[in-house]
Structures are given as structure tokens and as C-alpha cells.
Amino acid sequence: MTTPISGFSKLSKGQKIDWLTEHYTKDPEASKKLILAYWNQDSDLQQLHDDFIENTITNLYMPLGIAPNFLINDELYAIPMAIEESSVVAAASKAAKFWMDRGGFTTTVLGTEKVGQVHFIFTGDFKQLESYFNSIKEKLHADSAHLTESMAKRGGGISAIELRDKTDDLTNYYQLHCTFETKDAMGANFINSCLEQFATTLKEEAFGYDAFTAEEKQIEVVMSILSNYVPNCVVKASVSCPVAKLTISSDISSELFAEKMVRAVAIAKVEPYRAVTHNKGIMNGIDAVVLATGNDFRAIEAGVHAYAARNGSYSSLTHAEIKDGVFRFWIELPLALGTVGGLTKLHPLVKLNLELLQNPSSKKLMQIIAVAGLAQNFAAVSSLVTTGIQKGHMKMHLMNMLNQLGANTTEKNQLVTHFKTNTVTHRGVSDALEQLRNPS
């Protein structure tokens, strides 16, 4: 059993690697070589990456691809996507090209409100608490003015502070439910700083509030933190065209294809098992752009999935209908994003990716990312209701299989040609490679 280590964070990077490989790998020298191979040769750039998190030993690269031909509100975009899964970029690109010829994507930001809460315990009478809250409401704003000054100059700040009685859910539990506008910043640090100031004012002013008993003056703040659930920070993206123009393949009529698409989405609306995978496909597109632009994909994932369950049952994020001979396909989802702060000004590739997107505002980035999710879902569902998901996905996965099997360049070229007309399976690829190497 490996002995626990004390002071690991104080070791040099090299010492960390030595200790880790000696204690946790079968071949320390080979492991060190691999770790070093992923260091950036530019020492300044490597140091920048090292400083992003703690106890760094190397970099884990993820492919960065481009999905071109996205026509969004009559503007053309090439969208950067950072993702490891085969077929995602290809599917997005295919959907973008399909809809570019049919008018492109239309988007609207429905709201940009973000949320934070001060969670606290109060053991007295709610009406007394309510009166107290109303008496200090102006001071809550005044005491946080030094935090909001800069944001206010950009048109942002605190939108509202509400007292909420949550005692039906948990004994003596109340909260300050606060809403914010953070403009082009994601705003996590700004929101959390404001909330902590609210908490301080809430506690301190209670001691001087004469209507409180001695016990009521002892307000216990449990925590002050932003929420990644932002149901009023929502964007809508949509596509539409006459059903007659919805020609996806010569093997299926546009009318039948449209009906199949609507039915597939309807199933994802009522069946959570399907909805989870349906929405996972949407997040393939969304996460890839969120990651490429230096935003927090974990926060986005959490908020989006909560939104998908907001009506009491987990359901599809996308919607589809046929009305008056027109097929419509759209998505509404919450996206709390930033184009300033965080990694957006630190990570060189993030800066480049934002430049590729024409340095969008946070609102514009919301629209671009929503479109990426909608395009991904259209591509996935259209495959499911026609040829099936595996035909296209496995062809894109072919190169990964060939690399796993150790195929050389010549073998890869020959087998890529072979599988243009043959079904891709792991066994099939393995057998074809063996046949190529040993024709007898």
C-alpha cells in the first residue's frame, strides 16, 4: 500500500512527477516520458497552463475542430468546437450546410438574469423577519455599492433582492433570493462577492434591530453562493422551411421525414430514458463550443438539465412541429456565459476562438452556442429516423479503431476506402486489417 504524502503541493513539478510515477505506475521512466511529451515546448505558455489549476504535471490535449457554414441571423460563422467524440463536428457541419440553403438559423435572447442566494436560519416570527428585511433593504444595496460600481458603469448590477420563506421545505430555513445583470461577464465572482456582503449586513444589522428578541438577533448564515440554475437567462434558436424543401435523402420523402422528426421529438418529450440521450446529443454541440470559448461547461450542463426537468419530469430541450405546410424545429435553454474575465483573456486559444467568432458579446455567444446544440440535435435525430445512428457514427469512429489496432498510413488509406461501402464494426475492422496483412 502506498504511504500517504504530506506537502505534495509544495514539491516542485518535477518532484511531483517523480513521486507520482514511482508510486503509482508500473514503468516510471515510460510514464515520465509520456508526461513530458505533452508539455508545451514554449516554457512561458506551459507556465501559463500550469498556473490555471493546482498540482499540475502536464497537459491533456483535446482536439479543436471547426464547423463552418453556420448562417445565424444572416451572419456566417465558422464555429470552433473542442471535443473528443467522433462525428460531432462532422454532424454539426452537415446540419449547418443543410440549413444554410434553407434560410439559416434564427435566434433571440429571451433574458439574461442571473441568480444568487443567501441561505440562512432564523428561529423567530416570519412577520418580524419580513419587517426587518424591509428596513435594511436599502442598506443591502448601499453596503455593496463598492462592489457594483464598475459593473453598473457597464449597465449591470443588482436587479432585485427578495426575502423567501422556505420553511415548508426545511425548518427555520429562509433565503435572500437575488438577481443580477452581469453584461459580458459570466459574473460568478461578482455575484458571490455581493452575496457575501449581503450576508454580512443581514447578520450585523440584526443585533441593532430593537423588534427582535435576543434569540432572533442570532441569524445563522449557512452559505452565500450563486446558482447555476438560471431559468431567466434563456436563448431561443430555430430553423424552419416548407416541408417540401425538407429533402434529406432520396430514400425518404420530405413529408415522411418531417413526420418522423416530429414524432421522434415527441417521444423525447414524454420518455425520460430517451430524453436524457436526446439532450446529451444537444450537449455534444453546446459543451464543445462552451469549452472552446473558455466557459464553464459543468455549470452549463447542470443548469440545462435542471431546466429540462423544470415542469416536474425530465424532457426534450428541442421542439418540432408541422403547421400550414411548414416544418419548424427549435430549442430554448438557459446559458450563463461570459466573453470577458476568466480564461477568455488568459488562454491564447480561447482568445483566438473568440476572435474566430468575431469577438461576440455574451448575448451573441448565447445565440451561437444554442445554434450549435440545435444543429447537433437535428443531425442526430435525422440519422436516427432514417439510416440509424451507427452508420454515420461508426464511419467517423473508424480512424480511432485503426489507430487502436496499430494500422499504418497505407493500411488506413486502404481500409477507409474499403469501409465506404461496408459496415463498420470493431470485429469487421479487425478482420479486414488482418486480411490486408495476411492475404493468405
75 as an active site residue: the answer is no
85 as an active site residue: the answer is yes
Contacts of 3 (CB under 8 A, 6+ apart): none
149 as an active site residue: the answer is no
At position 46, the amino acid (one-letter code) is Q
Give phi and psi for 311, each to the nearest 5: -95, 10
CB-count burial class (<10 Å; 0-12, 13-18, 19+) for 416: middle
How far is 392 from 363, CA to CA, in rounded Å?
Answer: 33
Catalytic residue among 184, 196, 287, 296: 296
| Cα-based distances in Å from 239 to 136, 324, 371 | 48, 15, 9
| Cα-based distances in Å from 250 to 247, 254, 256, 387 | 8, 9, 12, 12
Catalytic residue among 18, 85, 216, 255: 85
Which residues pair with residue 79 across a beta bridge? Answer: 67
23 as an active site residue: the answer is no
Q: Is 294 helix (H, G, I), strand (E, B) or coil?
A: coil
At position 201, the amino acid (one-letter code) is T
| Cα-based distances in Å from 58 to 13, 14, 40, 109, 295 | 9, 10, 9, 39, 21
How far is 333 from 261, CA to CA, in rounded Å?
Answer: 20
Q: Which helix (H) or strand (E) holds 237?
A: strand 234-242
How far is 419 from 432, CA to CA, in rounded Å?
Answer: 9
Catalytic residue among 153, 280, 345, 391: 280
Q: Which three cell numbers stand for residue 171?
A: 425548518
CB atoms within 10 A of CB 308: 22
First to last CA, the chain: 50
CB atoms within 10 A of CB 106: 17
How far is 94 from 383, CA to CA, in rounded Å?
Answer: 11
With beta carbons less than 8 A apart as the criterion, state whether 212 and 206 touch: yes
How far is 335 from 345, CA to CA, in rounded Å?
Answer: 20
Q: Which three cell numbers stand for residue 26?
A: 508500473
What residues act catalytically? 85, 280, 296, 393
